[in-house]
Each structure stands twice: as structure tokens, then as C-alpha cells.
A and B are shown apart, each in its own frame.
Chain A
Amino acid sequence: EPEVTQTPSHQVTQMGQEVILRCVPISNHLYFYWYRQILGQKVEFLVSFYNNEISEKSEIFDDQFSVERPDGSNFTLKIRSTKLEDSAMYFCASSEAGGGREQYFGPGTRLTVT
């Protein structure tokens, strides 16, 4: 069964450094998303991406964040100048075009900022 994959599974970085989180969505999906979940808190929407552009972003997704689809398979989230409060699990999700609406989540990348 096709699945969303994410790398790395765990990333440790120092405050102020830049990180890139990588995702490979399901191959026939056209809508892509990033969510984050701080430990013990709810899943929060960051950004949605369709047709090579951002379609919606939350208040969390400020200038520190950017997304890119550099080729036909990868979808990346870049966090510039990381802060301690960026420590969280970051989930990538994708959904197909047309009637399919369920979003399939990847296993997540645990980001720890020290």
C-alpha cells in the first residue's frame, strides 16, 4: 500500500541553525500539507500546497518557514534560525485530487532544538 515517507525520523539541531525536513508524498497525490505537534499538545496546521504554490498557511507559518517541491517527488519544509519552541513532531500529509479528501500522514520527523 502506498504511503507517505519522511526523513529524517529524528533531527537534533542547535538554536539558530537551519533545518530541512523532507517528505515524499504518495505518488498520485496533488495536495500536500505540513502539520506540527508539540509534545502533549494538539496537531496544528502549518501550510497546504497545491499546483506548486501555497494555498493556505496558518499564523504559525511565518517568515521563518518555507516550503518547496524541488522535483516531482519531494516536498520539503525549511525552518530558518530555529528556536527552542520549534521542538515538535512535524508531520507531512498528502491527499489526492478530485473526490478523495482524506489526508494520509507520514510517520513524522521529531525535531529537537537545543
Chain B
Amino acid sequence: GQNIDQPTEMTATEGAIVQINCTYQTSGFNGLFWYQQHAGEAPTFLSYNVLDGLEEKGRFSSFLSRSKGYSYLLLKELQMKDSASYLCAASGSARQLTFGSGTQLTVLP
């Protein structure tokens, strides 16, 4: 079966750094995605990891350890507009995405 776990909620302060963790157990693993979703909107792509290690993209970085079934999303220099739900998703053999329940991040001034 597929199982994705991530914290339900996190709070951080504007300008700070926050790390959102995700653990996964899936069959036919084909990569780990992070999406951002604002309330009432569609998920938007943030990052993709298929090999172990860190991928950096501006203020956002994502890490993957395949042997541990673990990933994290690192957000630096937090801005108010970063308040959103962050979705961890594992890609299966047919490229289908299995999503976690999302981590609702609130950025405080």
C-alpha cells in the first residue's frame, strides 16, 4: 500500500527558516514531489527528487533519502505569502502521485 506522513500544522515567523518533514512507504517508487496549495486553489509544483540528496531552487530546497523513506522541504527567508498547505507526494510506477494530507504552514509577522 501507499502511506505518506507529514505534520498537520506548523507555524513560523516571517524571515525565518522552516523544515517540513515527510516519510513515505510506497511500492514502485519513482520520485518524491513537493507541491504548494493555497486554500481553494490547485496544487502548484515546487520540487522533485528522485536521487538521494539536496535539490536547491531559490528560497526552497528539498532533500530525499530513499533508504530511509524520508524527505524534507526547507523554506528560507519566509514571507507572508508562503502561508499555505505544503503537500508531499510520492510518484508511482505509472507516474501517479500519492499525496500526504498536507502541512498547513502559517507565517506570522
Given A56-B92, A102-B48, A107:B100 Cβ within 8 A: no
Interchain CB contact under 8 A, B95 and A48: yes
> Which of B9-17, B36-44, B69-77 touches A?
B36-44
B37 to chain A, nearest CB (A): 8
Whether B91 sits at the interface, judged by CB under 8 Å, is yes
Contacts of A44 in B (CB 8 A): 99
Interface size on B, residues (CB 8 A): 26
Q: Mark B74-102, 1 if CB is under 8 A from A, else 0.
A: 00000000000001010111111111111
Interchain CB contact under 8 A, B31 and A42: no
Chain A contact residues: over half helix, strand or loop, or mixed? strand
Q: Mark B25-47, 1 if CB is under 8 A from A, else 0.
A: 00000110101010001111100
Contacts of A55 in B (CB 8 A): 94-95
B49 to chain A, nearest CB (A): 11
Interface residues on A, range: 20 to 34
Contacts of A56 in B (CB 8 A): 92-96
Q: Which residue of the partner chain, among B30, B44, B95, B99, contacts A43 with CB atoms under 8 Å?
A: B99
Given A43-B87, A91-B43, A103:B102 Cβ within 8 A: no
Interchain CB contact under 8 A, A42 and B99: yes
Listed residue (B30, B41, B96) with the most chain A CB atoms within 10 angstroms of its CB: B96
User: Who on chain B is nearest to A107 by CB?
Assistant: B42
Contacts of B96 in A (CB 8 A): 33, 45, 48, 56, 58
- Other contacts beyond A43-B87, A95-B95, A101-B31: 19, CB < 8 A: A42-B87, A42-B99, A42-B100, A42-B102, A43-B37, A43-B97, A44-B99, A45-B96, A45-B98, A45-B99, A56-B92, A56-B94, A56-B96, A91-B42, A101-B48, A101-B91, A103-B97, A105-B43, A108-B42
Q: Could you pull out 5 A-B pairs where Cβ atoms are within 8 angstroms?
A: A33-B96, A42-B87, A58-B96, A91-B42, A102-B48
